[in-house]
Structure formats: structure tokens, C-alpha cells
Amino acid sequence: MTQQQRKDEHIYWAEKFYHEKENSLEGIRFIHQGLPKIDVEGVDIQTHLFDKVQAAPFYINAMTGGTTKAKDINQQLAWVAKRANIALALGSASIVTREEETLSSFLIAKEELQEGTFIGNIGLEYEPSMIEDVANRLEVDAMQVHINVAQELFMPEGNRTFSSWKKHLSMLSTLPFPVIIKEVGFGMSGETFTELIENNIQYVDLSGRGGTNFAQIEIARSNHRTENLATWGQTTAESLLEAQPFLNDLQIFASGGIQSPLDVVKCMALGAQSVGVAGYFLHFLLEHGKEKTLDEVLRWQEEIRLLYTLLNCKNHKELQYTNLFLSDHLQHWYNTRQIGQENFACRNKK
């Protein structure tokens, strides 16, 4: 199996399992209030990412590159991202280090995006000097460095050596561009956030369980792994709770199972800087094409504005004080993990 075949298989299986999701964000509810004091036109949902202004607090997250099909997808995603003025992250560029001719499948997105926010992606198994080389060749605004230990271990041909990660991690903060440490759908813990801060990491994409599931995908590809591993990892909601004590030290990007503007707003209310969407927009693009995907992204932007109004919040900061009701499971998680004292249901009474 070549790396190129694997890339296309990931698209195939992600699409095949698209409808099998567990929306962990259902465990977070807003409390409706009937007396708003603001106007829709006074709501500001713009976001700043890496010194560039984005129209809305969500971006298209890392998916693909390296094959003819991936090139076509990247070009279409970039076409959408540019017109909607949102950031685009591309799939892992590790393939470029081995197969030079695959570079164009990534650069095509840069050409399409022009001045738009462009985020590269590669694994922590790579030496920081190599990560820098790839980032320079792609001319990115920031680089996601993925930590995908569960995926690798569930993948028959996956990596089995992780002892170099600690050293690589300790060197990433010296790179001359922003580095985002990113999961791939297994979520993060307070312990991981602490270690990232100790290594001077500022940006994290906690990519939790709940959407595209690489345990399920790799189990399906290998055809012989045990099914019970398909629920490995923290959901996006659990990961966001884990992140609460670290919101002053880390800029948190939330992703994993984001299916709607309401999901975006829930993540923002729990302190995210922005929210990543992968599988949903890939599925939409493959089903409906780039024009309708752009319409959908613009619809999300408008609906987020309406939801902020409904919550009586003019901006992201105010949203972080809005009241939230957590499911028994999430409240139990928060208490059992001794994360903090926050009473999410009465935040604006502070």
C-alpha cells in the first residue's frame, strides 16, 4: 500500500462512515432568554488568526493532499475558503518529503487562496528542521503538527516508535512561525495541555472524538482489529472541559464532530478561539460541489450571528460568560476529573 493509496482510502472511509457520529456537544445546552438587548447588525463574529482577520470563528480543518483526487478537493476547498474569508488547513504534507511531485496538490490551494489564511500540517515524528522546510515550501501562515498516536497504533502499517516526539516537541517553539499541536479526533487531556505549556506551545487544536473517527477507519481498513477501540479517546465536549484551566495559557482551537453553527457557538462559549470543521465540509463538497458548499459556509456565518443575538452576546468575549447547562455525564466528568469550580449554569452572575 503506497502513501498515496492510503490518502485516497481515508477519504473513501471518512465518507462511508460519515453518518455514524456521536454528537458530544449535545451534552452542552444554552439557556434561552426571551429579552435580548442587542441588534443582529451590532454582533461582531470576526476572528483574528495569525494576524489575519477571518469572517467567522470557524475554519476548514486538515484533510488531504498528495493525490490527484486530493489536489482537486484542496483546490475546491480553497476556492470556498477564499470567498468566505475563512482559514484553510491542508492534510499532512509528510508525503512531500518523500514524493516531490505531490507538492502541487498542496500548492494549488495556496494559489487559489492567495492572501487567505493557509495552515500546513505534518506529524510530530518529523524533525523540526524538516517541519520548517515544509512550512517554507508551502508558504503557510501557521503549521499544525499532528499528534496521532492512536491512529498510528490502530493502523497496520502505522508508526510504532514515539520516543522522538518529546525531543521534537521541546524544539517546536523555536520555529519562526506559529505551531499548532493538533489531535486527529481522539481529544486531549489536562495532562497533555500541561506538557504542551511546559514546552512553550501556544496553540492547540484539541480535535476530539465525535465526528470523523480514525479508530473506526483504520479498523475498517485493516479488517481485523477489535471493534471496541472505536470509542477510544475524549469527546470534543470532554476535551473542552479538560481545557478550562488552561484558557489563559493556550489558544484553544476546538474540532471533532462539528456539524452545525450551534456546535461552533457551543465551542466558542467554552473558550475556543476558533473551531475546525473537517468531515462535514468534505461530505458537503463531495455531495453538492463547491458553489453550494460556499453557500453553506455563508449560511453558517449568518446563523452564528443570529445565535449570538439570541444569546444576547455582541462578541466572542461576552459569549464566554453566557450560561450553559451540562449533561449529567459532562458534569460528572468535570467533577471527577477535579477540573475546577466553575458553575457553568450561572456564569454571568459572577
Ligand X SMILES: Cc1cc2nc3c(=O)[nH]c(=O)nc-3n(C[C@H](O)[C@H](O)[C@H](O)COP(=O)(O)O)c2cc1C
Residues that bind ligand X (CB under 6 A): 10-11, 14, 61-64, 91-92, 121, 144, 146, 182, 184-185, 207, 211-212, 255-258, 277-280, 282
314 exposure class (CB count in 10 Å sphere: 0-12, 13-18, 19+): middle
Supply angle C-alpha 171, 107, 52, rounded to 5: 65
State yes or no: 143 annotated in a binding site. no
Closer Cβ to ligand X, 239 or 255, answer by number: 255
- Cβ of residue 321: shortest distance to ligand X, in angstroms? 27
Q: Would the annotation count 61 as a binding residue?
A: no
User: Is 303 in contact with 345 (CB distance < 8 Å)?
Assistant: no
Q: Smallest distance from the beta carbon of 302 to ligand X, in angstroms?
A: 20
User: Is 62 within any annotated ligand binding site?
Assistant: yes
340-348 long-range CB contacts below 8 Å, 24 or more apart?
340/244, 340/245, 342/244, 345/31, 347/320, 347/321, 347/322, 347/323, 348/321, 348/322, 348/323
Provide the minimum distance between the beta carbon of 63 and ligand X in the complex, in angstroms, as a whole number.
4
3-class DSSP assignment, residue 61: coil
Name which of 209 and 344 has its Cβ closer to ligand X: 209
Consult the annotation and say whether 84 binds a ligand.
Answer: no
Quick one: DSSP state of residue 248?
A: T
User: Residue 137 or 347: which CB sits closer to ligand X?
Assistant: 137
Least distance CB 2 / ligand X (angstroms)? 16
Q: Is 212 known as a binding-site position?
A: yes
Q: How far is the CB of 207 from ligand X (least distance, A)?
A: 4
Q: For residues 75 and 67, what is the distance between their CA atoms, to the nearest angstrom? A: 12
Instruction: Tell me whether residue 151 is annotated as binding.
Output: yes
Measure the CA–CA gap between 52 and 85, rounded to whole angstroms. Answer: 10
The reply to whether 7 sits in an annotated binding site is: yes
Q: Which residue in this structure is represented by grid cell 492512536?
A: 150
Cβ-closest residue to ligand X? 211
Burial class (CB in 10 A: 0-12, 13-18, 19+), 304: buried
Of residues 108 and 311, the one with the C-beta less far from ligand X: 108
Q: Cell 490527484 identifies what position?
A: 68
Shortest distance (Å) from residue 38 CB to ligand X? 30
CA distance 88 to 179: 15
Residue placing its CB nearer to ligand X in the complex, 208 or 271: 208
Which CB atom, from 43 or from 143, has the smaller least distance to ligand X?
Answer: 143
From the annotation, which residues make up the binding site for substrate? 6-7, 151
From the annotation, which residues make up the binding site for FMN? 62-64, 92, 121, 182, 207, 212, 278-279
